[in-house]
Chain A
Amino acid sequence: MEKNMALSMRGITKRFGSVVANNHVDLDVYQGEILAILGENGCGKTTLMNMIAGIYFPDEGKIFKDGKEVVIRSPKDAFALKIGMIHQHFKLVDLFTAAENIVLGVDEDGRYSMKDVNNRVSAIAQKYGFHIDPQKKIYDMSVSEKQTVEIIKVLYRGADILILDEPTAVLTPQEIDKLFEVLQRMKADGKSIIIITHKLHEVLSVSDRVAILRKGEHIATVNTCDATESSLTEMMVGKKVSLDIDRSEPVNVQPRLEVKELNCIDAEGIQVLKDITFTAYSGEILGIAGIAGSGQKELLEAIAGLQPIASGQVIFNNPKKDKPVTFFHKSLRKVKELAAQDAFHDKNGAPMRFKGMTNAQIRAQVAAENVLFREDEVMNLRNKTPLEIRSLGVRLSFVPEDRLGMGLVGSMGITDNMMLRSYRKGHGGFVDRKKPRALAEEIIKELEVSTPGVNTPVRRLSGGNVQKVLVGREIAFAPKVLMAAYPVRGLDINSSYTIYHLLNKQKENGVAVIFVGEDLDVLLDLCDRILVINSGAVTGTLDARTATKEEIGLLMTQTTTQRKEG
């Protein structure tokens, strides 16, 4: 069957500052087909589609619709050309009904009648097999219903090219099946559908052709029937690049942070973490790999006490410490009883049973702090506030993903930002700026932060310098556990390596480091073990020294149900 070209792009290039998001991309879309666009995070898929949808304007290149060159400056232009995009973050007015959102901004002639709109919406829904109540308010809707509204919004405007940006990321398997049925029906109706995804099995099950993007470049477009999971993965991740990160063997490995069957439900009632179980050991870097938004942020925040935990445990193990016995807590009789049960030992670790000792001798031994016991320092951090966690003496450092919105105060200088975690120290009502200032100067010197001064608002620093300040502060806290979410995102090569180096040094100092990353090459070269999560659940744990990018890639895109079957 001869297929007509619906849309084609030629030589599309888009730069953001010095970063090239898309480099001379050529792409064709035919009428009545489903084209999947496949690629890792940050490969430029969404940027490319945003240029068709009128969000960005390309720096170079041409776009043709039905064979004619077109210029798309705004979403309105895109709609006029019958192109509609369903963004990952829905753009809906919560307070309005489905129909009101759908009709918003549409220029129609004739009288405005909500009744007509409702009817038309129902007609579209019926045609493609959606289930929707046009009069339901958005705030009462589930994520999948909201997505349906977004799709109908585009169809209502008469779009014949639909772009869906990661439509399945937020859906349950049943909802995904339903969505795919609808997409097939639209395809049969002659519409072109572009679906952005990195879930391989979905690509294989729903699409006709697959275009693979890597690092902003169009690698190839293949017919889905000729592709396999492994061939696609290879094209998607490319050859492994060696990064020259010094990785030492972990020493003195002990369980430090144990997460057991952790479940979290967010404010909208969606389960963001499902039965997560893992252990982070001291002296190693545990990498967390996964598609953006798979629950990485929620996991770290749950551990740090910033996200309510629905069920499960977060256990912190402090290395066991010898502590002297005192009569402050225990009577002499109790001490003797416990000694008989081998509860105490001397400074050399040998058991102390007070055999043949008089009470006076025992008292003397205790007074000399020669009688020691091992204190059980296992703490459950579940549902403790950050302050409670700290007052327990748990040294947990956290470098959040949102550096200026959460980790630092943008309008304050480096000195004041140093105080964020420690300002309560010291007596009296006044803050001590001397020590933070010294720390700030030390960090500026040690980590080569380029800043006009310690009091320059950190908002004005470059991304790399902001991150150095944040990581520097969290490390200065002498943590036992260091969690870092995307610590090198947006950083240049040199700053990135400074951060890797810092994390490695922490690991050598016996810190349990948890590193959430997106670049698989980095994860493989930096970490000791890699935990892969998808849709809030663990899909596998790999040894970073032997694992391959393809393995991780597969686990990242695999759903838990599949894993159980396989």
Chain B
Amino acid sequence: MSERKNITVHEPLFHLAKRAQIQPWKAWAIRLAAIVLGLVVCGIVAFILIERLHQNPDRIDDFYYSFIKGSFTSNRKIWKFLKNMAILQCISLAVTPAFRMRFWNIGAEGQTLMGVLGCIAVAFYLGGTVPDWLLLVLMFIAALVCGAVWGLIPALFKAKWNTNETLFTLMMNYVATFIVSYFLVIWVPSGSSTLGKLKYGKLPSFGHDYLVIILVVLLLTIFLYVYLKHSKQGYEISVVGESVRTAQYSGINVKNVIIRTMLVSGLLCGLAGYLIGAGLDQSVTTESVGGQGFTAIMVSWLANFNPLVMLITSALISMLNSGAAQISQDFNVSGALPDVIVGIILFFIIGSEFFINYQVIFRKADRTAAKEGVK
């Protein structure tokens, strides 16, 4: 290779640089573009997967309309959408404090499930023997304690021995699942392992069955926003997440903050478990949380760990979910379609973050030309 050729090659065609800043509207425009692009790809994928669609290509607008139809065309659907969103939002809020501290807690699934188990266990054993209000209080306490314990265990090991929290919390999810199946075997002697709806321990409904849950989550959103933004503890979480060195410099006890924050996360997961157990199901199965613990991680991350923005992202994911469920019903395809749609949209939003954080700088053409000219 000639040396002259080398000279022009030394600067690559383009290089990446971290953006110093980006206007918020630009960032949102990029995200919106990603979602639109994702929806287009969803359409293409659906076209391939759904026979009825490629037999009648003109039904493609039905396909897109379903996303609205799935959530908003009847009162019942709106309530259901709000309920789904509230539960997802609650778990997303729960994982947020830990994530703001850069503690990769992917154990929300297990922590929430333990919360459900705790409150149902109380209802199972004490139902009917104590007054209803007391039962609800005891269920509440049990749910919170169970969730908190499940969150605390990995945090203690992280603080003491720096045990990898991602893998630890992941494993804890499965331990929780099998603990639930263990109790189901004990509670249901028939061997079917399905616990029917319990008669006791149902949250009172004001107006609508889901109203309490929605209000609680709404209050929790505001509470967590204030906690993270305006409390001393929230401030400490942000500092530890940004730089452990800075935290030490300012006199923060990093280990204590890790443990305390995971306690908060665990408690909130327990609360989510209570809402599911006492507010909705009055029962527990291994699928009580149904993977929302994982979805919540993405919801929280997409909202940049901001509780208020999370209302938008959890609404988006819930809408996609029920929309896709509507599609699978209307077009007679597998009930797993929502996962595919949500997955595709997530890929695009995740990918779009790159264009928000980095800038692609192309080599200036004139400089190359000048160098060629000089030789």
Contacts and interface: CB of A to CB of B under 8 A. Distances in A.
A153 to B, nearest CB: 25
A126 interface: no
A406 B7 contact: no
Interface in A455-478: 460
A295 to B, nearest CB: 18
B199 to A, nearest CB: 40
Given A57-B10, A71-B10, A423 B245 contact: no
A429 B242 CA distance: 21
B299 to A, nearest CB: 21
A386 B20 CA distance: 32
Interface in A71-128: 71, 73
A175 interface: no
Nearest to A304: B249
Interface stretch (B103-111, B229-237, B278-286): B229-237
A429 B229 CA distance: 12
A430 B245 contact: no
A420 B239 contact: yes
Contact of A385 (B6, B20, B243, B251): B251
B242 A420 contact: no
Given A386-B250, A430-B231, A431-B235, A406 B245 contact: yes
B250 to A, nearest CB: 5
A385 B256 CA distance: 14
A406 B249 contact: yes
A5 interface: no
B232 A424 contact: yes
B238 A306 contact: no
Contacts of B231: 429-431
Contacts of B242: 409-412
A429 B233 contact: yes
A130 interface: no
A406 B243 CA distance: 7
B243 A409 contact: yes
B249 A423 contact: no
B34 to A, nearest CB: 23
B370 to A, nearest CB: 13
A429 B232 contact: yes
A416 interface: yes
A400 B238 contact: no
A134 B7 CA distance: 39
B3 A71 contact: yes
A409 B246 contact: yes
Nearest to B249: A406
A517 interface: no
A384 B212 CA distance: 50
Interface string A51-67: 00000010000000000
A460 B246 contact: no
A398 interface: yes
Nearest to B234: A431
Is the interface on chain B under 10, 10 to 19, 20 to 34, or 35 or more residues? 20 to 34
Contact of A408 (B3, B11, B238, B246): B246
Q: Which of B20, B21, B238, B249 has the most CB of A within 10 A?
A: B249
B238 A398 contact: no
A71 B249 CA distance: 45
Nearest to B12: A73
Interface in A395-453: 398, 400, 402, 405-412, 416, 419-421, 423-424, 429-431, 433
A460 B246 CA distance: 18
**Residues of A in contact with B, size category:** 20 to 34
A487 to B, nearest CB: 16
A367 interface: no
A387 B251 contact: yes
A15 to B, nearest CB: 15
A423 B251 contact: no
B145 to A, nearest CB: 22
Nearest to A386: B251
B250 A421 contact: yes
A390 B239 CA distance: 19
A70 B253 CA distance: 54
B361 interface: no
Contacts of B233: 429
Contacts of B251: 385-387, 390, 421
A407 B246 CA distance: 6
B9 interface: yes
Interface string B1-32: 00100110111000000001100000000000
A306 B233 CA distance: 22
A177 interface: no
B248 interface: yes
Nearest to B250: A420
26 contacts: A71-B7, A71-B10, A304-B249, A306-B249, A385-B251, A386-B248, A386-B250, A387-B251, A387-B253, A390-B251, A402-B245, A405-B243, A405-B246, A407-B249, A409-B242, A411-B242, A416-B238, A420-B246, A421-B250, A421-B251, A423-B232, A429-B231, A430-B231, A431-B231, A431-B232, A460-B21
In the A-B complex, the 4 residue pairs with the smallest Cβ-Cβ separation, listed nearest first, are A387-B251, A386-B251, A71-B6, A420-B250
